[in-house]
Structure 1
C-alpha cells in the first residue's frame, strides 16, 4: 500500500503548477517534503488545498489520483470529497446558500450528513406539459459543517444527475429543495463554474 500511495500522490503533485500556493503559502515543494518523511496524510491535505486554488483549475486526473490515495489511506470523507471534486472538474461547479425549513414545517426532523450522500429533488424552474414543477435531482455537499439539520443554513455544492438541465441557472436565482412532495429548503445560487478542460485542450 505504501508504494501505491506515494506513487498516486507523486502523480498528483506533477499535475500542479510549481508556482501554485495555498493561503498558507504551502506549495508542491512542501508536498515532496512531507512525502520524503512518510507524512502521507499531510501531503494529501496540502494537495487538496492546492486543488482549491481557482486559477489554474486542476483537472479530473488530479482529483482521481487524490481519491485513490485517500482510499488507500482509508480516509473515507477525504476520498468522497476528492471524488466529488473529480465530478465537478468534469461537469462544472454549482454553489448555493441553502436554508433548510424548520422541523415544524418539514418532513425532515433530524440532521443529515453533508458529505454528498443526500440526493434531494430541486425545483430549478422546469415545468411539465401540465404546468406543474418538473423536479431535477442533484446530490448535495455541505461546505461548512459535517451535518446540517432543520432550520440551519450553509453554503452547499450541488452535483446534478443531469448537468445539462442546470445550465440555465444564474447567480442570485432562488431554487427549492424537495424531499418528497413538500419543500425542504430554499437556496440562492452563489456561483457557477464551467468544467475544467482536459490537458491539451483549450477552455
Structure 2
C-alpha cells in the first residue's frame, strides 16, 4: 500500500467519536489527507492512538506510512507502540542518578534504543536479586540527562517477569551492577494473551 492508502486504512480504525484533548478527530485527519498533507495526518493519527488505545494493525500501518515518508522518529515510535501491544507497557517516573553517583556521564537517548536491566523484586534460584530487561522510551524528551527526571515507557523483554509489578512500586534501573536510577511505577498494562510474545 502507498502512504495515502496506509493512512486512510489506519484512520478507519479510529472510532468517529474519539477526539484528543485539543478536539482533534478523525475528520481532521481526512481533511489533511484530501490535501495530500500526509505528514500532518500521520502526526494527528499518532495523537489519536491513545484515545482509546487502538489495535496493533493501526500502529503497523502508521509505521509503514512513516517509513515511506522517511520520518525516522515517527517510524520508531509506531514500532514501539506495536511492541507495547505485544509485550505490555510499564509507565514510570524515572530519576537518574547524577554523574557524581553513577557511572553514566552521557544522556540517555529517549527514543527506545536503550534496554537496561531492572530490579523489580524478582529473586534468583539462589535467593539473590534477579534483574529483568525492558526497553526504555522517554516521553516528550529526546534525551534524559544524568540526574534528570522524566516519565518513561518500559517494554518488558519477558512480560511474565513483570506480572507482579503494580502501580506505586519503586523499581531500580541498572546498566551494570550499580544503580543507574530509581523509578516509581505509574501504570501497568499487561499484554493480552492473543498478542503476547511469551
TM (norm. structure 1) is 0.92
Tell me whether 126-135 or 174-183 shows the greater mean CA deviation.
126-135
Q: 2:20 aligns with which of 19, 22, 36?
A: 22
1:42 aligns with 2:40: yes
Shift of 1:131: 2.0
Q: Which runs of structure 2 are paired with 1:178-193 in the superposition (5 Å)?
A: 178-193=174-189
Shift of 1:144: 2.5
- SS of 2:155's equivalent in the other structure is strand
Indicate conservation of the 8 Å contact 1:96/1:187, yes or no. yes
- SS of 1:88's equivalent in the other structure is helix
What residue number does 1:94 align with? 90
- SS of 2:100's equivalent in the other structure is helix
Q: 1:120 aligns with which of 116, 139, 160?
A: 116
Tell me whether 84-93 or 5-14 shows the greater mean CA deviation.
84-93
Q: Which runs of structure 2 are paired with 1:1-203 in the superposition (5 Å)?
A: 4-53=2-51, 55=52, 57-195=53-191
Cα RMSD after superposing both structures: 1.4
1:125-182: CA deviation from partner (whole Å, max 9, x where unpaired): 1111222211110000000311001100000000111011101101110000001111
Count of residues paired in the alignment: 194
* 2-structure distance, mates of 1:12, 1:197: 23
1:11-31: CA deviation from partner (whole Å, max 9, x where unpaired): 101111111111111111111
1:78-124: CA deviation from partner (whole Å, max 9, x where unpaired): 11111111111223221000000110111100102100000100001
* 2-structure distance, mates of 1:66, 1:197: 23
Indicate conservation of the 8 Å contact 1:58/1:89, yes or no. no
CA change 1:122–1:197 in 2 (3 A) is closer
* Unpaired runs of at least 5, structure 2: none
What residue number does 1:201 align with? none
CA change 1:15–1:197 in 2 (3 A) is farther
